[in-house]
């Protein structure tokens, strides 16, 4: 059971304190949210928010918010009361996911999913990006960062998270004037000994795109299939490597290591992919919803 938009939007806006932050949480354009609230205020004949920074609730807005919370509570109570009366849904869901995202995303979403659907068996298929793409038609849903040339007309894409790519390296590999910098020029990175992932992995594609712009071959000390292995080797002082900014949530470094931004920030995006038909299934829609709110 989903909370009525007017209540959901006002609650999110009040808790976020700004239209921009609320729009991000609601996965909608800021202008659309602003227009929705304006239309709601016109319909009610009252002003709910003072457009200050941060936003402030008017007396009417406080009353509306209080009622919205009460309705949210009652809907949650009703949902809990109805759940024992619902037939247990059974079946199998095949989830494809790359290893990095599996370690970050699945612990955030699967426990709640299993509580909601205890009769559904989950089969996790992990692999490199290229392997998940090859198996996509045999999966119910997949979570990965799409490669540059990805184009599957049958799969609908929903964006889950945007994450910055950084360089992990011990500062003593760098000239003194760069050691305390926040960002490293691509030329400096290209001159470092590097640990890269294997071809076919999205992070390797990101690294290759950065390095080829320098017009010379980088010194690739070694390759590995595991992001955590590359990160721990870099933290141990062997070489430099490219890592996602949330790497420390997945694994601690072997030794404390600096994470440098690139001179022009580079990002990759976690997305979910499934067919439009499967996306309509209640259980898969719930799984995507959990993924979207996992990193908020």
Check which CATH number belongs to the domain holding 19 and give it. 1.10.10.10
Does residue 192 share a domain with residue 48?
no
pLDDT in tens, 59-112: 999 999 999 988 988 887 887 788 777 666 789 999 999 999 999 999 999 999
Rounded to whole angstroms, the Cα distance separating 247 from 186 reads 21
CA angle, 150 as apex, 100 and 128 as ends, to 5°? Answer: 30
- Count of domains for the chain: 3
CATH number for the domain that contains residue 274: 3.40.190.10
Last residue of a domain, one of 33, 63, 84: 84
Give me the pLDDT at residue 269, please.
93
Mean pLDDT computed over 271-293: 89
Residue 88: the pLDDT is 66
Burial class (CB in 10 A: 0-12, 13-18, 19+), 92: exposed
Q: Are residues 169 and 263 in the same domain?
A: yes
| 187-211 residue pLDDT tens | 999 999 999 999 988 899 989 998 9
Residues 174 and 250 in one domain: yes
Is residue 3 scored above 80 in pLDDT? no
One domain, residues 78 and 14: yes
Element containing residue 142 per DSSP (H, E): strand 141-144
Q: Which of 54, 84, 114 is the last residue of a domain?
A: 84
Domain check: are 71 and 133 in the same one?
Answer: no
Secondary-structure percent of the chain, ordered helix, strand, coil, rounded to 5: 50, 25, 25
Report if pTM > 0.75.
no
Among 84, 110, 137, residue at a domain's last position: 84
Let me know whether 255 and 171 are in one domain: yes
**Site of tokens 């299993």:** 114
pLDDT above 90 covers what percent of the chain?
66
Query: Looking at the structure, do residues 68 and 17 belong to the same domain, yes or no?
Result: yes
Instruction: Specify the DSSP element, H or E, that contains 96.
Output: strand 91-98
Q: What is the mean pLDDT of residues 229-238?
A: 97
Mean pLDDT over 29-57 rounds to 92
What is the distance between the terminal CA atoms of the chain, rounded to a whole angstrom?
21
Q: Which domain holds residue 200?
A: 163-268
Residue-wise DSSP of 4-61:
PHHHHHHHHHHHHSSHHHHHHHHTS-HHHHHHHHHHHHHHHTS--EE--SS-EE-HHH
14 contacts 22 by C-beta, under 8 angstroms:
no
For residue 57, what pLDDT is reported? 94
Band (pLDDT 50/70/90 cuts) for residue 2 is low
Clarify whether residues 112 and 189 are in a common domain: no
- Find the range with the poorest average confidence among 70-84, 104-118, 121-135, 176-190: 70-84
Please state the rounded mean pLDDT for residues 9-13: 93
Q: Please say if the pLDDT value at position 1 is more than 70.
A: no
Q: What is the CATH number of the domain that holds 212?
A: 3.40.190.290
Percent of the chain with pLDDT over 70: 98
Residue 152 and residue 273 share a domain: yes
Domain co-membership, 246 together with 199:
yes
Please check whether residues 135 and 281 belong to one and the same domain.
yes
Same domain, 79 and 93: no
């Amino acid at each position: 059971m989903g909370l009525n938009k007017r209540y959901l939007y006002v609650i999110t806006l009040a808790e976020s304190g700004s239209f921009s932050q609320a729009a991000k949480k609601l996965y909608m354009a800021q202008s659309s949210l602003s227009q929705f609230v304006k239309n709601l205020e016109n319909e009610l004949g009252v002003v709910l928010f003072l457009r200050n920074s941060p936003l402030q609730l008017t007396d009417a807005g406080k009353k509306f918010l209080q009622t919205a919370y009460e309705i949210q509570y009652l809907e949650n109570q009703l949902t809990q009361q109805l759940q024992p009366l619902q037939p247990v849904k059974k079946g199998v869901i095949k989830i494809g996911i790359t290893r990095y995202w599996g370690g970050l995303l699945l612990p955030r979403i699967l426990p709640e999913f299993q509580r909601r659907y205890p009769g559904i068996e989950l089969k996790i298929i992990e692999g490199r990006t290229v392997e998940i793409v090859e198996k996509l038609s045999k999966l119910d849903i997949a979570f990965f960062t799409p490669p540059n040339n990805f184009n599957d007309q049958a799969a609908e894409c929903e964006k889950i998270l945007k994450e910055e790519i950084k360089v992990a390296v011990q500062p003593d590999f760098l000239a003194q004037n760069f050691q305390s910098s926040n960002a490293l020029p691509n030329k400096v990175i290209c001159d470092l000994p590097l640990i890269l992932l294997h071809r076919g992995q999205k992070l390797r594609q990101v690294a290759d795109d950065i390095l080829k712009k320098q017009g010379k071959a980088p010194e690739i000390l070694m390759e590995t299939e595991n992001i955590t292995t590359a990160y721990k080797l870099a933290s141990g002082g062997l070489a430099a490597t490219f890592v996602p900014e949330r790497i420390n949530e997945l694994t601690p470094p072997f030794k404390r290591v600096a994470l440098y931004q690139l001179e022009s920030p580079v990002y990759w995006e976690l997305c979910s992919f499934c067919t439009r038909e499967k996306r309509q299934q209640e259980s898969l829609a719930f799984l995507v919803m959990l993924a979207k709110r996992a990193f908020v």
